[in-house]
Amino acid sequence: MPLRVAGLLSLLALLLPAVHAQGGDSDTPVWAGPKGEREIFAPRERDGFTFAVFGDRTGGPPEGLAILRQAVSEVNLLDPDFVMTVGDLVNGYNEEASWLAQAKEYKEIMDGLAMPWFPVAGNHDVYGAGGDPNDRGNLERYKDHFGPLWYSFDHAGAHFVVLFSDEALSFHRPEANQNMSAEQMEWVRADLARTRASAVFCFLHHPRWSPYYRGSNWPEVHELLRSDGRVKGVFAGHLHRYRYDEKDGIRYYTMAATGAGKGNLEESGDIHHYNLVTVREGEFKVAVVPVGSVRPGDFVYGSESDEAAALGRIGLGRFTRDILDGTPGGRDLEYWVKNPTGRAIDYLFGFPGTEPCVATLAAGESRRLAFTCPEGEPAPLAVEAIYPLHTGRVERIRVERRPLVRRAETPEVGTDGTDRVLVLDGADDCVLVPHSTELVPVGPFTLEMWVRPGAGNAGRSVLAAKTEMSAYGLFYDDEDRGEAIFFVHAAGKGYAGAAAPHDPHFAPGRWTHVAGTFDGKSVRIFVDGRSVATEVHAGNLTPNEIPLLLGADPDPHHGAVSFFQGAIDEFRLSSGARYSEDFTPAAREGPGADTIVLFHFDEPEGTIAIDSSGRFHHGEVRGGAVREARN
């Protein structure tokens, strides 16, 4: 047959209504829930058996299809009775033609298996184009081309239950959208009641028992499975990171990927793999099989997966000082690191060509280490954390941090002794302070300034900000009589804000002192020295590399938006929480040992705002901002 004709027939076979059988090779149909046109039959029975489980395919690079083909080839060599999946078989979220092409591609590879395989519906398989929850076209196509959304079958004295975990066609807000319906729950009860199997295995896409699905009704499902007494193992996917959890004798496995996109923490769960499950006399063993190797089913606990991810995300530390060229000791640096895990971690630090420094940090311990950067072009500091897993393997998590270099110089700007303020027009005026590691303090800090709002602020504007899902910001909102809001973004915790109640004293034309403090445990805001709001928020600031803006908010491209209209004066950023109770604000104050940035704005004119802290964080005055004498 000519290749062109053969290809056309294959395409027509996919597009025509699906009427042929898929799944097992017996003549016993599965007991199914909602069905489309396709029937699925149970596999033939053998004494004792093995089955394989594939992880997600969705979201990987094109070479992910080669990984899937390799998995099919290796499973054929291992010769299990059948293969289960955990959903996300196609990339989906698309229109009919693209969905059908992806389904055809996946099925052609999987049909290379020498044994039956069974589908599970994932979000990528059934969600509509663009994730529209009202578009049920792909859900119906899934039923027609893959099979029922939930079903079960018996095999060799065991029972297999496929569940559907995307009934709402959304996994946002798990408490609302990741619940098993009463219909499916009743079906599960009836299904377990009708089988005489001695062991039960369940499969679904979303691992609703993991911390990411708090608020769903999985505890009710777990109790249903536990009370049956025969449920041995539950398998899911979606996270693309392997984890093993156990509760009430039920072993929960979250598959990583079989061709899907993944992270780079291989020793703690980011792998391409499939699982091989051996069932004998109601008991089972699981082997995790990456390319050419076998690992135990509990090779990484859920807690280890979480800790290794936290170590890579927030546990490798950062510099707290910049190199100040031109000053004595200007290359003396400090590096802060905190171990976020529940066990001791060995760290290695070193500049190129130097002997590494080794430090062991106890669980939860933070430490400041001193380094001197070698002369010449600053080289990166290599930082490596060694995370031990319970299997004896280790995850080596490495990063390079290059210290920033600033010139220790102050521009020649004349002053005449007049106490001035900076007036901002609310259109494009602001002060830009270039990024420095010192501008994101480690530990407690205080941000404060004097503010005289103008009458032209509409809604929320920004007094000072170094925030883009990180660091901190001080905002002004005059929707009513004026409100100050101090936001802090803590690593791994997100934002928390202390908002001052609408205050008649914080009004256009009136000078008001505003201060925000963060002591590592709570965010607090003071208006005219009065503590007016506190929000509990523990942790350390999430660092970034964007500039600090006064009178505007940095956008993702380091531009400026949300301009403030009015006047500002005596801006100060300090290490430490300077205020813990009510105080009398000083109209003007010099720098102290804790001062990081201090702007008096006393320059008669020009585009330079001199930092009086002695740390050389001079600002660039942008737009048409002008100075005027304070009155």
Give the number of other CB atoms < 10 A from CB of residue 459. 9
Alpha helices in 255-407 (DSSP H): 302-314
Residue % of the chain over a pLDDT of 90: 70
Residue 16: pLDDT over 60? no
Q: And the tokens for 584?
A: 């009398």
Lookup result for tokens 């009710």: 220
Q: Measured at the alpha carbon of residue 339, what is the angle toward residues 335 and 340, in degrees to the nearest 5?
A: 130
Q: And the tokens for 265?
A: 């923490």
Q: Is the model more confident about 58 or about 400?
A: 400
Q: Residue 484 belongs to what H/E stretch? A: strand 483-490
Question: What does the pLDDT read at residue 594?
Answer: 95
Helix (H, G, I), strand (E, B) or coil at 12: helix
| pLDDT class of 12 with cuts at 50, 70, 90 | very low
Of the candidates 215, 217, 210, the residue with the CA atom closest to the CA atom of residue 302: 210
- Range list of β-strands (E), 174-308: 199-203, 231-236, 243-247, 250-254, 274-280, 283-289, 295-296
| Range in 284-288, 487-491, 492-496, 513-517 with the lowest mean pLDDT | 492-496
User: In whole angstroms, what is the distance from residue 561 CA to residue 347 CA?
Assistant: 41
User: In whole angstroms, what is the distance from residue 526 CA to residue 290 CA?
Assistant: 56
User: In whole angstroms, what is the distance from residue 375 CA to residue 356 CA?
Assistant: 17
Kindly report the average pLDDT of the chain as a whole number: 90
Question: Could you tell me if 500 and 532 are in contact, meaning their C-beta atoms sit under 8 angstroms apart?
Answer: yes
Q: And the tokens for 106?
A: 């996946």
Of the candidates 281, 304, 278, the residue with the CA atom closest to the CA atom of residue 289: 278
The side-by-side arrangement of strands in the sheet containing 394-401 is: 357-361, 345-350, 381-388, 394-401
User: In whole angstroms, what is the distance from residue 88 CA to residue 56 CA?
Assistant: 5
Helix (H, G, I), strand (E, B) or coil at 498: strand
| Range in 220-229, 342-351, 599-608 with the lowest mean pLDDT | 599-608
Of the candidates 219, 292, 287, the residue with the CA atom closest to the CA atom of residue 253: 287
User: In whole angstroms, what is the distance from residue 92 CA to residue 145 CA?
Assistant: 14
Residue 363: pLDDT over 60? yes
| pLDDT class of 291 with cuts at 50, 70, 90 | low
Residue 4: pLDDT over 80? no
Question: Could you tell me if 431 and 620 are in contact, meaning their C-beta atoms sit under 8 angstroms apart?
Answer: yes
Q: What is the pLDDT of residues 564-589, one digit of tens each?
A: 999 999 999 999 999 999 999 999 99
Residues, the chain, total? Answer: 631
Instruction: Give how far Cα 562 sits from Cα of 459, 478, 496, 513, 559, Å.
Output: 9, 13, 20, 21, 11
Radius of gyration of the chain (CA): 31
Helix (H, G, I), strand (E, B) or coil at 211: helix
The pTM is what? 0.63
Give the number of other CB atoms < 10 A from CB of residue 381. 23
CB burial of residue 271 (10 Å; 0-12, 13-18, 19+): buried
| pLDDT class of 180 with cuts at 50, 70, 90 | very high
Lookup result for tokens 């499969």: 203
| Dihedral over alpha carbons 458, 459, 461, 463 (to 10 degrees) | 100
Residue 1: pLDDT over 50? no
Question: What does the pLDDT read at residue 469?
Answer: 87
Q: What is the pLDDT of residues 200-239, one digit of tens each?
A: 999 999 999 999 999 999 999 999 999 999 999 999 999 9
Q: Is the model more confident about 25 or about 28?
A: 28
Question: What does the pLDDT read at residue 17?
Answer: 46
Q: What is the pLDDT of residues 445-456, one digit of tens each?
A: 999 999 999 988
Q: Which amino acid is at 161?
A: V
Residue 104: pLDDT over 80? yes
